[in-house]
Amino acid sequence: QVQLVESGGGSVQAGGSLRLSCAASGFTYSRACMGWFRQAPGKAREGVATIASDGSTSYSDSVKGRFTISKDNAKNILYLQMDSLKPEDTAMYYCAVDGPRACTVAATWDKYNYWGQGTQVTVSS
């Protein structure tokens, strides 16, 4: 059974940083397309960043240059380093694994087979 546990969310002022983590059990990170999504109240869930099995990454335009996705295959942990945070980054953030072969942020959330429970990020101005 695959379990994903996210951590690292919280409240921060604009310009600050947070690092989200997603630890997995029952799943091998090295072979998977993985990603981070976010959903703000009243808005659709959107892809933020993805990392493919070969380590290639993609980012949404809204976070490019500010967020960095990475993974530790030995520990089965996925990370999202978020710098220069803005109030519009406020959302529930979800990690997702076992995504499509075309591992980019263009892939919608329903293309992933496993999800974490979400961690809240709140950025104040």
Q: Are 121 and 82 in contact (CB under 8 A)?
A: yes
With 80 as the cut, is the pLDDT of residue 30 above it? no
Nearest one of 97, 94, 84, 79 to 28, comparing CA atoms: 97
Q: Are 67 and 83 in contact (CB under 8 A)?
A: yes
Q: What value does the mean pLDDT take over residues 87-97?
A: 97
User: Nearest 5°: phi and psi at 48?
Assistant: -110, -50
Residue 1, pLDDT score: 87
With 90 as the cut, is the pLDDT of residue 32 above it? no
With 90 as the cut, is the pLDDT of residue 29 above it? no
User: In angstroms, rounded to a whole number, what is the distance separating the alpha carbons of residues 90 and 120?
Assistant: 8
Q: What value does the mean pLDDT take over residues 43-56?
A: 95
Confidence of residue 9 (pLDDT cuts 50, 70, 90): very high
How many Cβ atoms from other residues are within 10 Å of residue 11's Cβ? 12
Q: To the nearest whole number, what is the mean pLDDT of the chain?
A: 94
Residue 35, pLDDT score: 96
Q: 69 to each of 2, 42, 46, 83, 124, how far by Cα in Å?
A: 21, 25, 15, 12, 23
